[in-house]
Structure 1
Amino acid sequence: MKIGVVGLGNIAQKAYLPTYSKIRDQADFIFATRNEEVRNKLTKQYNLTKTVKTVDELVAQNIDACFIHSATAAHYKLARKCLEKGIHVFIDKPASENIKQVKELQRLALKQSKILMIGFNRRFAPMVERLKKVKNKRIISLQKNRVNAISDPKFMIYDLFIHLVDTAVYLLDDKIIQTNSKIIQNAGKLEMITLTIETAKTLVNLTMDLNSGSNRELYEVTSSTGTYVLENLAQLKIYHENSNETFSFDDWDNPLYVRGFEQMVANFITSVKTMTSSDLRQKNIYLSHKICDEIINKIQQ
């Protein structure tokens, strides 16, 4: 099986190249980037055996599937080209900042009978999976904060806040009734944002502070079985009426496993091999994009 990889920037270098290096026996990887300096550096660092400059060169290699790690603005064009050529596609989140393009890619994949996976790694993080299995969720509070990360509202919502939105969408067990967002800006830059989501059984509160003084991700889920508190995707504490439990990873556990990247890549490759989409965890992915689009439209009104 031949697998193409487009885009070798920061996220690809941190989260994906180490994973691809571990599974070279499963596929023939071909990497594409126009940046000669990056290509030479990574060829030496990861002993890449096959590289090309353009997507057209990559497609000409008769690849079966393609991982797209380019800038979000290029996702739609690259994914469409691959799908039209009969190539299975994995795209980093978000698929696009244009929800019409997201829907179009999903329809094209269905028409072509090809797999399209949009990569939200938290859906595959082991501790988030524990939260997913909690019965009778009552209140879900998700918080993601950054140090001095104030920036353009649209970019930050689709780059960072969408992680919280999608995690909430994934954790919920019933249909969303309504949402409401509020943001605080300074000189046109996003500083803080909150989003509330309501279902018949669950209340959700999402918050992000882009100048909080610390980088921290904190999830809390309440239910009749206890209160579950997850910090930085790595340590889960469960508070019961008369006892507490703590679950954490060993020091040697790979952070890319803890954060779900390894499982996400493995599941996509398995799906391509078997031509099934049984565990890609794509349910309501479009909804996550739609909620972000609604927040941005509200800002621009």
Structure 2
Amino acid sequence: MKRIRTGIIGIGYLGYHHLRNIKKIEYFDIVGINDINKERLDSIASEFSVKPFYDQDKLIEESDAIFILTTTSSHYNIAKKALEKGKHCFVEKPLTFSLEEADELVNLAKSKNVLLQTGYVERFNPAFIAVKKIIKEPLFIESHRLSPFTGRSDDLSVVLDLMVHDIDIVLYFVKSPLKSISATGVPIISNYIDIANARLEFENGATANITASRISKDKMRKIRFFQRYSYISINLLENYAEIYNLKMIDGKMCIERNVEKGKNIEPLYLEDLSFAEAILGIKEPEIRPEEARESLYVATIILEKISESLRKL
């Protein structure tokens, strides 16, 4: 069996958990790991019995695929170096800060004929997987992604930190051009937007109302889909979905409720496995780089709308 020589750059919170899952996947052969924090690098390398690389370029050179799990501001430069050398790249979301950088990476991956995947892990949430086939043409989508403040991802807004997951899901289901976007948001405890709400309206009549906060007391990750004669509510945090269908029972119109429980598999494991299977040609890529670019585009407009609203205050 062919194994993928793999390097991991960035072993903070997410990097640690990616490494833990990558170790379980037989398709990966971990060449080594790299991080700007040398003390942490040595500690994690020892814990997982992998080689620490103090030279990022050398790790890229010796690998077939690179996981880029660093701060968003460094995604572009690292990914560009790796792609130019013909390496497959997994980049945590968002792909980059700017659309210009994203476009360059997408085009570079195409020209080098390598895979560029972005970390939209909710696509691999078992509850999402369990019901995605029954979500056909949603007319209204409502999502709430709330989290306590962690201090991580302090180099970007809640829109790029959290909301972008739900933007990705909305765009996955609504295959229609955007008609309009309105948004509001405010910074509370950081220098960036900490809580935001966006309303997306599409040419086909669908509407999505998306709320994200990183200053909540409790966690919540719910997304609801309303379509003709049915309503699907996915609890991404608790790993189950509720499906409500309008049905004729004994000559009467009734609402039938069913619950779908997601499989007990870690989404991050499925995400990393999907990357390996796409590289090896076992399966088609689950997330195309053009989709990551489109989510970034919508997030960028949302941030522009928020800036406009703040200037009016």
Cα deviation digits, residues 30-88 of structure 1 (max 9, x gap): 2122433212221232222x221121121332x11111111111110000001111111
Structure 2, unmatched stretches of 5+, are: 247-254, 309-313
Find the counterpart in structure 1 of residue 209 from structure 2: 205
Find the counterpart in structure 2 of residue 12 from structure 1: 15
Contact 1:131 1:221 in 2 (8 A): no
Find the counterpart in structure 2 of residue 174 from structure 1: 176
- CA separation of 1:40 and 1:152: change in aligned 2, threshold 3 A: closer
Deviation at 1:7, TM superposition (A): 0.9
Find the counterpart in structure 1 of residue 24 from structure 2: 22
Contact 1:152 1:190 in 2 (8 A): no
CA RMSD, Structure 1 to Structure 2 (Å):
2.5
The answer to whether the aligner puts 1:270 opposite 2:277 as a matched pair is yes
Find the counterpart in structure 2 of residue 90 from structure 1: 90
Structure 1: distance between partners of 2:90 and 2:207: 32
The answer to whether the aligner puts 1:238 opposite 2:251 as a matched pair is no
- CA separation of 1:25 and 1:230: change in aligned 2, threshold 3 A: closer
Deviation at 1:24, TM superposition (A): 4.6
Deviation at 1:191, TM superposition (A): 4.5
1:290 equivalent among 297, 303, 311:
297
- CA separation of 1:270 and 1:210: change in aligned 2, threshold 3 A: closer
Write out aligned runs for 1:119-130 (5 A).
119-130=119-130
1:280 equivalent among 280, 286, 301:
286
Contact 2:125 2:236 in 1 (8 A): no
Amino acid at match of 2:110: L
Contact 1:132 1:170 in 2 (8 A): no
Contact 2:83 2:112 in 1 (8 A): yes
Amino acid at match of 2:221: E
- CA separation of 1:95 and 1:277: change in aligned 2, threshold 3 A: farther
Deviation at 1:148, TM superposition (A): 4.5
Amino acid at match of 1:297: E
Contact 1:238 1:246 in 2 (8 A): yes
Deviation at 1:186, TM superposition (A): 4.6
Contact 2:158 2:213 in 1 (8 A): no
Amino acid at match of 1:190: I
- CA separation of 1:25 and 1:81: change in aligned 2, threshold 3 A: closer
What's the TM-score, normalizing by structure 2? Answer: 0.84
What number of residue pairs does the alignment pair up? 291
Please state whether the residue corresponding to 2:284 is helix, strand or coil.
coil
What's the TM-score, normalizing by structure 1? Answer: 0.87
Find the counterpart in structure 2 of residue 104 from structure 1: 104
Contact 1:179 1:195 in 2 (8 A): yes
- CA separation of 1:66 and 1:196: change in aligned 2, threshold 3 A: same
- CA separation of 1:197 and 1:293: change in aligned 2, threshold 3 A: same
Find the counterpart in structure 2 of residue 221 from structure 1: 225
Contact 1:2 1:30 in 2 (8 A): no
Structure 2: distance between partners of 1:65 and 1:152: 27
Amino acid at match of 1:60: E
Amino acid at match of 2:301: E
Using the aligned pairs only, state the percent identity: 21
Cα deviation digits, residues 131-162 of structure 1 (max 9, x gap): 43212312111111123569979422211121
Structure 2: distance between partners of 1:144 and 1:36: 34
Deviation at 1:11, TM superposition (A): 0.9
Contact 1:123 1:170 in 2 (8 A): no
Find the counterpart in structure 2 of residue 76 from structure 1: 76
Find the counterpart in structure 1 of residue 260 from structure 2: 247
Find the counterpart in structure 1 of residue 146 from structure 2: 145
